[in-house]
Amino acid sequence: MTMTAFIDKAKIPTKLELETQIKTLGYNFRFNENFNLFDEFGGDCELDGQETFFEIYFIKKEEVISEMPSLDKDLDNYDSAFSFIWGADSIAGACISIISVALIDLCNSKVVFDDFEVWYDREKLLEEIPMFLEEENTNIDEAIKENLAFDKKKKSEKITNIILWSLLIITMLLMNRKIISWHIPSLLLVSVLIKSVIDHNKKRKFKH
């Protein structure tokens, strides 16, 4: 996804000015040491203790307009733009929205969501931030549930293996004492071997 903030190059705020303005928004946000608005790999920051990263491109206004000729905003007072690019990371989306709000407050930046060619004003950006955070919390909850289910399944499989091997050993001992016939140990051995093959194939499939 891409969000672009049009800006007058002469009015670009410093990192410190951005940080100061963002603090007034009330978010637990901070730029990491490597953050740099003029480096495509400079989108290094964190929100609520969660680190994230996004790409930043400082480009000429004309580059954006050439790709989105339908933009109808008055951009005469802007000569440049910051293009923020991120993927499925909701925290990155929230951070970009926060930075965009600060750019609007500090230098009257105009922001467009490139994917749908939709203009975002300050209020719209502030509305989006809690949505990004809620999406991230949902993703975390789902990941926790998946891990718990996986751990429960592994524990269940381990118990099953212990039971099968225990039964196999017991029946082998009973067979040696001629208390039972060879049929029962043989069936258990086959069951153990089949389960071992199935578990092995699952592990190989998971690795690939």
Band of the pLDDT at 52, cuts 50, 70, 90? very high
Q: 200 or 53, which is more confident?
A: 53
Report d(CA 12, CA 10) in Å as an integer: 6
pLDDT by residue (tens digit) across 131-184? 998 885 665 445 455 555 566 667 777 777 777 777 777 777 777 777 767 677
Rounded to two decimals, what is the model's pTM? Answer: 0.67
Q: Is 89 left (phi over 0), alpha (psi -120 to 50) or beta?
A: beta
pLDDT in tens, 10-29: 999 999 999 999 999 999 99
Residue 2 CA: distances (Å) to CA of 24, 57, 138:
25, 11, 22
The CA distance from 46 to 26, in Å, is 14
For residue 70, the model assigns a pLDDT of 82
Which pLDDT does position 196 carry in this prediction? 74
Summarize pLDDT for 91-136 with one digit per residue, the tens.
999 999 999 999 999 999 999 999 999 999 999 999 999 999 888 5
What is the model's pLDDT at position 189? 72
Contact partners, residue 190, CB within 8 Å, separation at least 6: none
What is the Cα 125 distance to its own chain's centre?
20
Predicted pLDDT of residue 141: 45
